[in-house]
Structure 1
Amino acid sequence: MECTNFKQNLQKCNCSYPGCPRKGKCCECLSYHRSRGELPACYFTEAQERTWNRSIEYFIQSR
């Protein structure tokens, strides 16, 4: 399945994980992180995202 919004998503994606196969593919990213009890990078500030801690607990503590 191709993502028709891939180029637009990629411009806004703040994921800094090197080699992420889901970068710019929001539906795949959301599905992956939800299955792990996490949130994707776009829920976090740039500084928070760079910790690579995607846990819901970290998100709540950061608010």
Structure 2
Amino acid sequence: MECTITRNKSNCTCTYDPCPRKGKCCECITYHRQRGELPGCLFPPEVEKTYDRSIEAFIKAHQ
């Protein structure tokens, strides 16, 4: 499957602008998974802006 970086970037809600994985969803997921985290796009905007990508923050945000 071909990566659609331009389209992915237009839908990316991550506010960490210098990220080299922006628009490269498979790399983003792998990066955060290796750290026991989730990507920013899975969080509500107000939580995403804290850069706390922990599973605990995800659960708390969605309770």
Confirm or deny a common fold (TM above 0.5). Answer: yes
Q: Give TM-score scaled by structure 1 length.
A: 0.90
Q: Partners in 2 of 1:61 and 1:4 — Cα distance?
A: 32
Matches within 5 A, 1:1-63: 4-63=3-62
Paired residue type of 2:6: K
Aligned residues: 61
Contact map agreement 2:21 2:28 (CA 8 A) in 1: yes
Gaps of 5+ in 1: none
- Percent of aligned pairs with the same amino acid: 52
Q: Give TM-score scaled by structure 2 length.
A: 0.90
Deviations 1:2-54 (A, max 9, x none): x6310110000011113100011000000000000000011001111000000
Q: Partners in 2 of 1:13 and 1:27 — Cα distance?
A: 13
Contact map agreement 2:32 2:38 (CA 8 A) in 1: yes
Q: For the aligned residues, what is the CA RMSD? A: 1.0
Alpha-carbon distance, 1:62 to partner: 1.1
Gaps of 5+ in 2: none
Paired residue type of 1:32: Y
